[in-house]
Chains A and B, each alone.
Chain A
Amino acid sequence: MDAEVTLKVDGTDHTFVVDTRTTLLDALRERLGKTSPKKGCDHGQCGACTVLLDGRRANSCLTLAVAYDGSEIVTAEGLAENGELHPMQRAFIEHDGYQCGYCTPGQIVSAVGMLQEAEAGWPSHVTEDLNVEEITLDDDEIRERMSGNLCRCAAYANIVPAIREVSGR
């Protein structure tokens, strides 16, 4: 079965017909040629496909495209505006927070979404006081909140300081 959907991706509207079985990830990659979100597991287990979906980080592989008709999506490519890298992207380069680069767009989008969650006061599994008004993003908080994004090259020891630097700005 096919259905028409409209998605705003990195600021541009796209209206197209998809097989209703198509994941948001496959719609982005195969239909729109937006290959910044990556397919690492297709099961929501690795986070390489992370996008901002209406402002919140989401695994686009666990999401059917038809379920988000009219939504706004930001990929890592879209975080860079007018050719200027996002501060998180610059921090990943400066701290060498990657090796092969395949999980990297997902890590970066996830980190940007995570900072917004922390800013909004959302606690995590390692937050001591669930009622605290201001989250202090120490390294343990960053590690916990970024554990949905796997990196087989295990650049974690560089990813944490990259995110810490941006969160401190």
Chain B
Amino acid sequence: MSTTERATGRAIGMPLDRIDGPQKVKGTAPYAYEHHVEHPLYLFAVRSSIARGRIVSMDVSRAQDVPGVVIVVTHENAPRMADTRDQELATLQSDRVDYRGQYVGAVIAETYEVARHAASLVEISYEEETHAAVLDPASDGLYAPEVVNAGFPTDTEEGDFDRSFSSAAVRLDETYTTPTEHNNPMEPHTTVAIWEGGNLTLYESTQGVHPVGRTVARVFGLDRDRVRVVAPYVGGGFGSKGLPHANTMLAVLAAQMVEGRPIKFALTRQQMFAGVGYRTPTVQRMRLAADEEGHLTAVGHDVIEQTARFKEFAEQTAVVSRMMYDTQSRRTTHRLAALDVPVPSWMRAPGEAPGMFALESAMDELAEACNLDPIEFRVRNEPEIDPESGLPYSSRNLVACLREGARRFGWEDRDPAPRTRQEGRWLVGTGVASATYPVFRMPGSRATIRYEGDGRYAVEIGAADIGTGTWTALTQISADALEIGVEDVDLRIGDTRLPYASVEGGSSGITVWGAAIFEAARVFRERHGEDPSEGDEVQARTPNNPETENYAMHAFGAYFVETRVDADTGEVRVPRMTGVFAVGNVINPGTARSQFIGGMAMGLSMALHEESLVDGRFGHVVNQDLAEYHIPTNADVGEIDVSWIDEDDPYVNPMGSKGIGEIGIVGSAAAIANAVYHATGIRVRDLPITPDKILP
């Protein structure tokens, strides 16, 4: 582990153990379902068995007759929402069915067992309509969205792409595809909802208590201060708990029907394969061209992906190709197919993860076509300024990552020829890929600092810790911002009674929450000095960062991978991975390292394992559990060597840090695909790389 010493401050940069560690290892840290409530009722959802149509009738009599059942909820008796514009959230508000697995009813009962059994007894007849649930890139119904996720333009064009591409010395024109993938955090999406006297309390598994609270208030027509959302511990999210989904709305509806009694609602693992977001499948045509010296002359990245007919989500898959490398001409496009499916949403590094699989695979192919080492090829195409905005980078150390990674991994003596190393039945190969992730900022976060006497300071912000280490990192940031010891910080997060915090998404949390804390500490010292009185308090917002007008801000990384491919079975093993990152200042080397090894292993999983198989006849995911949707096990993951280079970036935020939650997955899959090619001579452009794609 590289522990970067920081000149200023004492806590930032220290590998402090997680302050929530003792509770987590005992299992006593309360996740959403585990907050103690008196006399709860249990909710179990009834889901549609058709992909499109309308409900003609529902027979709830058998369910209602089960002893212990309190209410069977349907679209006919559910409370009306105040705002149904967001069709994803407008749960049980009409007889429409927009996708298979949509909530069409629910049972409220005294026990979980009764609720689940009774839910199976609800009989529904439908009027079915013709549906389409599988992405067809040849469909004539594709359309261009107005913008893509995170507000990026749908298409871009610079230079004369067609001419540059057609006249180039070396050209590549290949299509890369990635499948539907589901986030699958270990903790299911869960809500405990209590409706009492016009006040709503939610214990929620979420990446942002305030965004959930505001959405629920809007949808149900409640004052914001009547909705309290609590989430001190969250069992992972990876984006699926970033935006509120229908399951939360269903729990609130149910709570409103049983005034005063808490509703406990956790999705089953199978139910998490519809309705809580997923990564769209992508079809990506890459056209790259280079001159004889290996300088890119054209970069074309045309993406086809899916959205739901009832709500649009457009993943920003081609955006990485706009800034990654220097070229004379460039074209990027996004086209969508609107299908009768659940709406896709965020899954770790939406855009970057699938986009960099295609770009970095194509770069590997073009490097070979140019007879260049893939590292040298990337170095030759390193831009001096951000090609998209024309701004200089606040810091861009991709080349340093590539060079340092090559040294750590032992790249120097690599024979570039594919299928040249065999050990027993194992074909051995190595591969490299780059990664990038933008420094996103979300607006509006605030932090309160209050002196509580005896040298102790309360720091309050409604931030989330989904495993990212927020509890620990914000404690370290608070200590340095106030120039006190970490033991004198009382951090409070995960509750809407605390000041507003933006969602833990886009790897933006530490940037904006940390900046709010720094600002609050500055104002606190200005007003109250070094010797405050008990009760002295200051609240401050994340200040605008004027440097975002002057600099392009991105994190970078490089991966090196060894793969061993069984020549007889096509099984791919990854005994070792090296990742080197340029992410500014690292707040906590221990938790940061965990983010990187976790992201890289999720990239391994994207490369080799993950694929949600949709049965087009019915519109559902067939392999909807953890036995058939394979996420990596301990035995799938080998040695992971993680380090980062010293990077001093004074422009990004007061901590000098860049987000690290997502970059670990970006490029990891491409590095593995490139290593599989080197091992076998077989270029797999369609993820995941399963044995059938390797065997002859």
Binding site for B on A (CB under 8 A): 19, 21-22, 26, 29-30, 33, 35-43, 45-46, 48, 75-77, 79-80, 85, 89-90, 92-94, 96, 98-105, 108, 140, 142-144, 146-160
The docked-state distance in angstroms from the alpha carbon of A77 to that of B594 is 24
Q: Which of B1-43 contact A (CB under 8 A)?
A: 17-18, 20-31, 33-34, 36
Q: Is the CB of A35 within 8 A of B18?
A: no
| B278, CB-defined interface residue at 8 Å | no
CB closest chain-A residue, reference B604:
A154
A residues within 8 A CB of B21?
92-93
Q: Which of A89, A98, A153, A160 has the most CB of B within 10 A?
A: A153
Can you list 22 residue pairs at the A/B interface with Cβ under 8 Å?
A: A22-B111, A22-B113, A26-B112, A26-B113, A35-B27, A42-B269, A93-B25, A96-B593, A99-B236, A100-B233, A100-B235, A101-B24, A102-B187, A102-B467, A150-B631, A151-B186, A152-B184, A152-B185, A152-B236, A154-B598, A154-B602, A156-B597
Asked, given contacts A21-B113, A40-B269, A77-B26, whether A102 binds B236 with beta carbons under 8 Å apart, the answer is: yes
**CB of B138 within 8 A of chain A?**
no
Cβ contact within 8 Å between A153 and B594: yes
Nearest CB of chain B from residue A107's CB, rounded to whole Å: 9
5 extra interface residue pairs, beta carbon distance < 8 Å, beyond A76-B25, A99-B236: A36-B28, A40-B187, A45-B625, A46-B626, A94-B17
Contact A100 B27 (CB under 8 A): no
The residues of A that contact B27 with a CB separation of less than 8 Å are 35-38, 75-77, 104-105
Contacts of B266 in A (CB 8 A): 39
Cβ contacts under 8 Å, A157 to chain B? 597, 601, 637, 639-640
Q: How far is the CA of A102 from the CA of B593 in the complex (A)?
A: 19
Contacts of A93 in B (CB 8 A): 17-18, 21-22, 25
Interface centre among B467, B468, B593, by most A CB within 10 Å? Answer: B467
For B626, the closest partner residue in chain A by CB is A45
Contact between A99 and B468, CB atoms less than 8 A apart: yes
A-B contact count (CB 8 A): 191
Q: Determine if A89 and B113 form an interchain contact, defined as CB atoms under 8 angstroms apart.
A: no
Say yes or no: B634 contacts A96, CB within 8 Å: no
B468 & A33 in contact (Cβ 8 Å cutoff): no
Q: Would B633 and A100 count as touching, CB distance under 8 A?
A: no
Query: Are A144 and B25 touching (Cβ within 8 A)?
Result: no
- Judged by a CB distance under 8 angstroms, whether B590 is at the interface is yes
Q: Which of A35, A48, A143 has the most CB of B within 10 A?
A: A35
Q: Please judge, given known A-B contacts A147-B633, A149-B634, whether A155 and B598 are in contact too, CB under 8 Å.
A: yes
- CB neighbours (8 Å) of A75 from chain B are 27
The digit string for B359-395, where 1 denotes a CB below 8 A from any CB of A, is 0000000000000000000000000000000000000
A41 CA to B633 CA, complexed, in Å:
15
* B26→A80 contact, CB < 8 A: yes
Structural contact, B22 and A153, CB atoms closer than 8 A: no
Cα-based distance from A142 to B238 in the complex (angstroms): 27
A90 / chain B contacts, CB cutoff of 8 Å: 25
Q: Are B632 and A156 in contact (CB under 8 A)?
A: yes
* Structural contact, A100 and B187, CB atoms closer than 8 A: yes
The residues of B with any CB-CB pair to A shorter than 8 Å are 17-18, 20-31, 33-34, 36, 111-114, 117, 184-188, 233-236, 238, 266, 268-269, 466-469, 590-591, 593-595, 597-602, 605, 625-627, 631-637, 639-640
| Contact of A99 with B113 at beta-carbon distance under 8 Å, contacts A92-B25, A150-B626 already known | no
Chain A, residue nearest B665 (CB) = A154
Q: A104, B25: Cβ atoms under 8 Å? A: yes
A105 vs B635: C-alpha distance when bound (angstroms): 19
B634 touches which of A76, A79, A159 (Cβ 8 Å): A159
Point out the residues of chain A lying under 8 angstroms from B112, CB to CB. 26, 30
Nearest Cβ in chain A — how far from B593, in angstroms?
A: 7
A39–B268 CA distance with the chains assembled, in angstroms? 9
Checking A29, A94, A152, A159 against B186 with a beta-carbon cut-off of 8 angstroms, the contacting residue is A152
A158 neighbours in B (Cβ, 8 Å): 593-594, 597
The minimal Cβ–Cβ distance linking A123 to chain B, given in whole angstroms, is 15
A154 to chain B, nearest CB (A): 3
Q: Which residues of A contact B20 (CB under 8 A)?
A: 101
The 4 A-B residue pairs whose C-beta atoms are closest, nearest first, are A100-B467, A36-B27, A102-B235, A105-B27
A162 to B39, CA, bound (A): 40
Q: Which of A33, A85, A151, A158 has the most chain B CB atoms inside 10 A of its CB?
A: A151
Where chain A touches its partner, the secondary structure class is loop
Among A22, A38, A41, contact of B235 (Cβ-Cβ < 8 Å): A38
Residue of A nearest to B664 (CB): A154
| Known interface pairs A42-B268, A155-B597; A105-B637 also in contact (CB < 8 Å) | no
Report yes or no: A89 in contact with B635, Cβ–Cβ below 8 A. Answer: no
B36, B188, B590, B598 — which one has the most chain A CB atoms within 10 A of its CB?
B598
A154 to B601, CA, bound (A): 6
* CB within 8 Å for A146 and B634 given contacts A99-B236, A100-B185: yes
Bound Cα distance A94, B590 (Å):
9
Contact A96/B17 with A152-B186, A157-B597 known, Cβ cut-off 8 Å: yes
Determine how close the nearest CB of chain A comes to the CB of B688; give it in whole angstroms: 16
Identify which of B25, B188, B598 contacts A99 (C-beta below 8 A): B598
- In-complex Cβ contact of B26 among A26, A40, A41, A105 (8 A): A105
Shortest Cβ distance from A142 into chain B, in angstroms? 7
Distance in Å from the Cβ of A146 to the closest Cβ of chain B?
Answer: 4
With A99-B236, A151-B186 in contact, do A160 and B634 touch (Cβ < 8 Å)?
yes
Of A22, A77, A96, chain B has the most CB atoms within 10 Å of the CB of: A96
Q: By the criterion CB–CB under 8 Å, are B634 and A142 in contact?
A: yes
Give min CB distance, B225 to chain A, whole Å. 30
Q: Are A99 and B595 in contact (CB under 8 A)?
A: yes
Question: Which residue of A is nearest B234, CB measured?
Answer: A100
Q: In the complex the two chains form, is A99's CB within 8 Å of B594's CB?
A: yes
Give the residue name and chain of the B residue nearest to A125 (CB). Answer: B635
Minimum C-beta distance from A133 to chain B (A): 24
For residue B233, which residues in chain A have a CB less than 8 angstroms away from its CB?
100-101
For A148, the chain B residues whose CB sits under 8 A away are 633
In the complex formed, the residue of A with least CB distance to B595 is: A99
CA distance A30 to B26 in the complex (A): 18
- Most chain A CB atoms below 10 A, which of B24, B33, B117, B601: B24
Asked if B635 and A46 make an inter-chain contact with CB atoms under 8 angstroms apart, the answer reads: no
For A156, what are the chain B residues with a Cβ–Cβ distance below 8 Å?
597, 601, 632-634, 637
Cβ–Cβ < 8 Å partners of B602 in chain A: 152, 154
Question: Complex: how many Å from CA A80 to CA B28?
Answer: 11
Report which of A103, A105, A154 forms a contact with B632, defined as CB distance below 8 A.
Answer: A154
Chain B CB within 10 Å, residue with most, of A48, A108, A150: A150
Chain B contacts of A33 at CB under 8 A? 36
- Per the bound structure, the CA–CA distance linking A48 and B185 in Å amounts to 12
Does A35 contact B634, Cβ atoms closer than 8 Å? no
* Nearest CB on A from B643, distance (A): 13
A83 to chain B, nearest CB (A): 10
Chain B's nearest CB lies how many Å from the CB of A95? Answer: 9
Asked whether A100 lies within 8 Å of B25 as measured between CB atoms, the reply is: no
Give complex CA distance A146, B635 in Å: 8
- Complex Cα–Cα for A100 and B469 (A): 8
CA distance A124 to B33 in the complex (A): 35
Residues of A within 8 A of B269 (CB): 40-43, 45-46
CA distance A39 to B593 in the complex (A): 27
Residue in A closest to B628 when the chains form the complex, CB atoms: A45
What residues of chain A lie closer than 8 Å to B627, measured between beta carbons?
43, 45
B186 and A102 contacting across the interface, CB-CB below 8 Å: yes
Residue numbers in B under 8 Å from A40 (CB-CB): 186-188, 269, 626
Q: What's the Cα separation between A80 and B627 when bound, in Å?
A: 31
Q: How long is the Cα–Cα vector from A89 to B21 in the complex, in angstroms?
A: 9
For A33, the closest partner residue in chain B by CB is B36
Tell me the complex Cα distance, A81–B557, Å. Answer: 43
CA distance A38 to B467 in the complex (A): 16
